[in-house]
Amino acid sequence: MKRIVILISGRGSNMEAIVQRCAAEGWPARVVAVIANKPDAKGLQFAAAQGIATAVVDHRAHGVRADFDAALAACIDGFAPDLVVLAGFMRILGEPFVQRYAGRLMNIHPSLLPAFPGLHTHRSAIDAGCKLAGATVHFVTTQLDHGPIVMQSVVPVKPDDDDAALSARVLATEHVIYPLSVRWFVEDKLSIDEGGRVRHRDGASQLLIG
């Protein structure tokens, strides 16, 4: 039974999707903790209501990133996770932290990486005239919003889209591809080839067209 720890900063809708799918589909895993960097993160209430352990490591209590990263790692390690999942966790993590969880640290980013890393991805896609947008699940590396891609979703960018409309369309696909990617990990369905590309051992599609 694999152990999953999820990190959030706010509502944690992707966290909710993962928790719900894990229970409904009977994964060989369980979410053992949800940790936030903000005491008022709303997702903590949802997790507690599901009987999941919660914790807060407030980044504002630490003067430098390295101290916050160390405190966060100590909290995470207390739950002995097989996988650490970033679900709307809005802090940049330092190289020692990322290396500590190499190969078992997963993130979702609301763009078709490597396009539009960082913030304001939906506005960037609209301003660039993109006809397609989407989301990317990837393993975290020391390069921000990069790393081996597990799965992507694609949605159309409509002529009258604003940030909110495109964000909502992409988020709906995130709630599908992130739980599925986590399930593949806990079921040992993923491998990374010599070129750094993630493959599904049974050849399942790693693309969702929304």
Query: Which amino acid type is present at position 169?
Result: R
State how far the alpha carbon of 157 is from the alpha carbons of 124, 125, 134, 160, in Å: 12, 8, 9, 8
Task: Name, in order, each residue with C-beta under 8 angstroms of 181's C-beta and a sequence gap of 6 or more.
Answer: 106, 137, 150, 151
3-class DSSP assignment, residue 68: helix
Tell me phi and psi for residue 149, to 5 degrees: -85, 125
The answer to whether residue 109 is catalytic is yes
Choosing from 109, 122, 138, 175, which is the catalytic residue? 109
Positive/negative CA dihedral, 36, 153, 188, 26: positive
Q: For the chain, report the end-to-end CA distance as a whole number of angstroms.
A: 32
State how far the alpha carbon of 140 is from the alpha carbons of 44, 84, 94, 144, in Å: 23, 10, 11, 8
Query: Which amino acid type is present at position 189?
Result: K
Enzyme catalytic residues: 109
